[in-house]
Amino acid sequence: MQNWIYVCDKKDIDFEDLIRFDYNEKTFCIYNIKDGFYATDGMCTHEDVHLEDGLVTEDEIECPMHQGIFNIKTGAVIQDPPCDDLKTYDVKVDGEKIYININ
Ligand code: FES
């Protein structure tokens, strides 16, 4: 299912950083990394902690609470304590504008 939602402009996300994006009842993280823009769920899968203050290093996001690490592109857990992967979302860049597919 396609449900593209405008998030922000490219210039609004620093390189190797992320922004939080809230839409209806959901919350996301949108990343700017070497290979482009990516999106995941905003909440860590370990506990109820948002990843917006996490550390982005290359294609990984480190949770600020217990330093669990996820792959930004796949959502896969790289380092525990989280056991469950992050959900990821397709990102589309149209000119300067960034959209995510909230399916
Ligand atoms: S809340 Fe993210 S690693 Fe524990």
Q: Hey, what domains does the chain have and what are their CATH numbers?
A: 4-101 (2.102.10.10)
Q: Are strands 97-101 and 60-62 parallel, antiparallel or unpaired?
A: unpaired
Residue 101 C-alpha to ligand 1 middle, in angstroms? 25
Give the pTM.
0.96
Determine whether the shortest distance from the Cβ of 81 to ligand 1 is under 6 A: yes
Residue with tokens 């390189």: 15
Ligand 1 pocket, mutate which of 48, 62, 65 (most atoms under 8 A from CB): 65
Which of 98, 33, 21 is closest to 70 using CA atoms? 33
Quick: pLDDT tens for 46-89.
Answer: 999 999 999 999 999 999 999 999 999 999 999 999 999 999 99
